[in-house]
Amino acid sequence: MSMRLDGKVALVSGSGRGIGRSIALKLAAEGARVVVNDLDDAPAQDVVAEILAAGGQAIACVGNVTAPDFGERFVGAAMAEYGDLNIIVNNAGYTWDNVIQKMTDEQWYAMIDCHLTAPFRILRAAYPVIRELARQDTEAERRVVRKVVNISSVSGLFGNAGQVNYSTAKAGILGMTQTLAKEWGRLNVTVNAVAYGLIKTRLTDGEAGDTTANIDGREIKMGVNPDLLAMMERSIPLGRGGTPDEAAGAVYLLCAPESEYVSGQTLMCSGGLTGI
C-alpha cells in the first residue's frame, strides 16, 4: 500500500453513498483520516465502519450540508477529533430536473443551496482554521500543501437540457474554484475541480421514477430512461458510464502529492466526452 496521504485529514461531504463513499474509501486507503458525511446516520456509520475494518481512521459528521451551521460543524469535527485539516472534497449533491418553464423556485434554490451555497459555507468555515494552520507551518519552517477539490459536472461546463438549476450551480462552483485558487494560494492551498460525466450511481441506475430518495423531506425521483441512458453511453468515447471508484480516482489525483503545483484547474472525468 502506497499510503500517499498518510496522516492527512480529509473532509468528504456526501460520502455515505455513491461517488462520495468511493472517495472516502480511496482517501482512507491512502492513509487519510476521513470525516464522513451523509444526510442519514446509517450510511455514514457504515462507511466509517468499513474504513475502520480496513485499518484506517474515520468519524462521521451526519447532517444536511445546506444547514446554515453545517460548515462550522463539519470543520469543527475534524479539528476536535484530529486537530488538523488537509483535504476538503465538496461532493454532496443530487439532481432535481425540469425544463425552465416548469421549474419551481423550490427546485431552483434546492440545487443552488446544495451545490453552491453549501460548499461556500464549508470553505468559509475552513478559512480561519487553514490560515492558522498555515501560520503554524511557517513558524515551524515546514511546507504543507492543503487541497480543496470541488465536484462539478459536464453539465456545468456545457449545459444540459432539463437541468438549468443543476447546470447553473455546477458552473458556479467552477468560478468559486478559480477564485479561491487565487485567494488561498498564499496559504499553500491548491483548489481544483473535477467535472463528472455519466457516473453510474443510484441517481442514474434503474429506470426513471422506479425509485426515489428522501432528500431534506422531499421524495426525489431517481434513475434515467433506459433508451436515454443507452444513447448517452454511445456518445462516450470509452463506450460506457464510469464507476464510482473511477470517479474517486480523479479526485485522488488532485489530492496526491504529485499535484501540489496544480491549482485553479478543472479535470474532466467523463470517459472522453467533451460536450453534451
Q: Which residue has the cell 443510484?
A: 202
* Residue 271 falls in which region: left (phi positive, over 0), alpha (psi -120 to 50) or beta: left
Q: What angle do CA 24, 91, 219 make, to 5 degrees?
A: 110
Nearest Cα neighbor of 196 from 147, 226, 157, 169 is: 157
* Neighbouring residues of 194: CB distance < 8 A, sequence distance ≥ 6: 149, 150, 151, 152, 247, 250, 251, 254, 266, 267, 268, 269
Enclosing H/E stretch for 194: strand 189-196
Exactly one of 94, 166, 196, 252 is catalytic; which is it?
166
Question: Which residue has 488537509 as its cell numbers?
Answer: 86
Q: Is 127 a catalytic residue?
A: no
The residues annotated with a catalytic role in the active site are: 166
